[in-house]
Amino acid sequence: MAKELPAVEVPYLIETLAFLTTVVIVVPLCKRLKVSPIIGFLAVGAIIGPHSFALVKDVITVQHVAELGVIFLLFTIGLELSFERLRAFANQIFAVGSLHFIVCAIPISAAAFFWGNSVESSIIIGLCLALSSTAVVMQLLNERGEIATTHGRSVFSVLLFQDLMVVPVLIIVTVFGTKSEGGVGSVVAIALVKAIIAIVAIIFVGRYVLRYLFRIAARTHAVEVFMAATLLAILFTATVTGVSGLSMALGAFLAGLLLAETEFRHQIETDIEPFKGLFLGLFFTGVGMNLDFGLAFERGYWVLLSVVGLITIKAFLGFIVLLAFKQSVPNAIRASLLLSEAGEFAFLVIGQASLTYNIVDIAVGQFMVVVAGLSMALTPLIAFGANKLAKRFEQDKHPSDESYTPDHAHEHDHVIIAGFGRVGVAVANILNSQSIPYVALDLDPKNVATHHKDIHEPVFHGDATNIELLKRTGMENAQTVVITLDDPAASLRAVKTVRQNWPNLPIVVRAKDDEHLDALIEAGATRVVPELYESSMQLAGHVLRECHYTREEADACIELVRRHNYEEVHAET
């Protein structure tokens, strides 16, 4: 009689199946309801977590794995930037970021002390809750296509500075916990030296090693090798900063910055996108597992008061800080409200301060974790409200933070080009050849500086959805506006802004795909050109020539198809 084989247990199989089922159900449902998937993941985490149905047992392990989501997110953000672009707004990172952190930490610490916490406990609570959620906020900016906007850059600058504050906060927790008088200076010095060495090593060694690594991977022409090289680069740099006491996400961000300057940037970005989305979903599910609804209901009044108080304090003080740095009122509203929640770092530090060092009372620590988690869960709704509120002040916007301020309000019969990448430059060259004047806007400081200073073209740094800035380009008297922005969400916002304020102005815009095309037409675009359509027409023409059509026959056939398709596309406009 054959022996029965023992059942093979796969670790975390139930948790994995539960999470993948969540992704398949939650994301399409949220897209249909037109809400952020973050809300869905937080809700699912709260339901399956230990404080509800307890379907997931090992929550701590799940949360550790889920931290990869934040790491991948910061890596992709680094890929979209470069050291040059980062240097362009270094002032925001250290000036705005530091002031925002300090002015938020002080009153929160004071409030904690007022409610009976010790001085050390109050300082740690203030420092933790002054930090905002990089994962939630950056994902929201990504979803809405707002990272490159003025308020998006301000938010990112503050969040990046907060990531740099991980080391000082951890040092303070260690110092308060050990209470060693003679060793404080050495603890601080060692931690700072380790952090500096880690950052310098990643930048200077990684600049050469990473490019060489990817060249080797690319020569193999094997997708799995290239993917392995990408994951190795992310996890290795994250590990180096983690071991040094810094945020692991900061190491991944540095790796992204380094690879943004290589020829492999776009391939890496494409390969890593699914990993980022899945792990971020897992991260938000893990955050939801921290939401203790029993405690929330038991002390409901105080929890609600604390969440509202935290958001109000951070939003108000953040608004004042941003106004002090000459941000417009709408941008200050959006940025301050996006930064008003607590961050994922609070779970780590408060847990360490209460369980490891016994600085924060365990009951207080649990209460603060619930407050932090609920504030993060409310962020998508706060962001929606911030956008609605900011639009009421839109007429007060002013481009005071732009590198160059165009003053073409009295220009006549010119063309305005929104986006001065390769497509925008090609349009400008044709306009120049026909002696048609134009004014162009672009958000890439390096690109703007090159054309504005070296070539002396009318190209200016600015957001094409900024109404006051558009007025300065002479939108009132322009012949037409051409929108060639790479970001589909940004181009859609630009079309809506122009159409709402200049209803009779022709708008010509390029579309990424059919869904984007329909949205642009609905928003009021006059003419929409599918991004890949014209190149496919040219390719088809060459194919017909190879199929023994004469040039005239091929051109006539393509022109007939082109006319039919464009008439169909613009039938409603």
Work out the angle between the directed axes of helices 362-392 and 329-338 (0-180°, nearest 10): 160
pLDDT at 183: 54
User: End-to-end CA distance of the chain, in Å?
Assistant: 78
Check whether residue 356 and residue 420 sit in a common domain: no
Check whether residue 368 and residue 451 sit in a common domain: no
Check whether residue 352 and residue 437 sit in a common domain: no
At position 332, the amino acid (one-letter code) is A
Domain termination residue (choose one: 337, 367, 396)? 396
List CB contacts of 477: < 8 A, sequence separation 6 or more: 410, 411, 412, 413, 414
CA 416 to chain centre: 28
Beta bridge partners of 459: 440
pLDDT at 398: 42
Helices vs. strands in the chain: H and E counts, helices first: 26, 6
Check whether residue 422 and residue 391 sit in a common domain: no
CA dist., res. 411 & res. 437, Å (int): 9
Tokens at 398, concatenated = 């002013």
**560 lies in some domain:** no
- 84: domain CATH number is 1.20.1530.20
CA dist., res. 214 & res. 227, Å (int): 10
pLDDT at 10: 62
**234 lies in some domain:** yes
Domain termination residue (choose one: 396, 423, 443)? 396
Closest by alpha carbon to 342, among 317, 379, 305?
Answer: 379
- 426: domain CATH number is 3.40.50.720
Return the residue matching tokens 């959805």.
465
Closest by alpha carbon to 168, among 198, 189, 183?
Answer: 189
> How buried is residue 571: exposed, middle or buried, by Cβ count under 10 Å (0-12/13-18/19+)?
exposed
Check whether residue 343 and residue 231 sit in a common domain: yes
Check whether residue 346 and residue 373 sit in a common domain: yes
Check whether residue 343 and residue 271 sit in a common domain: yes
Check whether residue 201 and residue 72 sit in a common domain: yes
Sheet of 459-461, strand order: 459-461, 438-442, 415-418, 480-483, 507-511, 527-530
**114 lies in some domain:** yes
CA dist., res. 473 & res. 440, Å (int): 8
Check whether residue 62 and residue 165 sit in a common domain: yes
CA dist., res. 483 & res. 527, Å (int): 10
Residue 461 sits in which domain range? 415-531
pTM over 0.85: no
Tokens at 361, concatenated = 């009372």
pLDDT at 333: 92
Check whether residue 383 and residue 467 sit in a common domain: no
At position 360, the amino acid (one-letter code) is V
Tokens at 68, concatenated = 């990869």
Closest by alpha carbon to 146, among 338, 431, 389?
Answer: 338
pLDDT at 312: 95
List phi, psi (to 5°) of 78.
-60, -35
pLDDT at 396: 45
**248 lies in some domain:** yes
Q: Looking at the 3D structure of the chain, how many domains does it have?
A: 2
**79 lies in some domain:** yes
**6 lies in some domain:** no
Q: What is the pLDDT along the chain (573 residues), one digit of tens a residue?
A: 455 555 556 666 766 777 778 778 877 887 777 667 777 777 777 777 777 777 776 667 776 777 777 788 778 777 766 676 667 667 778 889 999 999 999 999 999 999 888 888 999 999 999 999 887 888 788 777 777 677 888 898 898 888 778 767 877 877 787 664 445 566 667 767 777 887 888 888 787 888 888 888 888 878 788 888 888 988 888 888 888 776 677 788 888 888 877 777 767 877 787 777 777 777 777 777 766 767 667 777 888 899 999 999 999 999 999 999 888 888 899 999 999 999 877 877 777 787 667 888 878 887 888 888 888 888 888 988 988 888 888 654 444 444 444 545 556 778 999 988 888 888 888 888 777 888 888 877 677 777 765 556 788 777 788 777 788 788 888 889 999 888 888 888 899 989 988 988 999 898 877 778 888 888 888 888 877 666 777 777 778 777 888 888 877 887 777 666 655 555 544
CA dist., res. 221 & res. 229, Å (int): 13
**469 lies in some domain:** yes
Check whether residue 164 and residue 204 sit in a common domain: yes
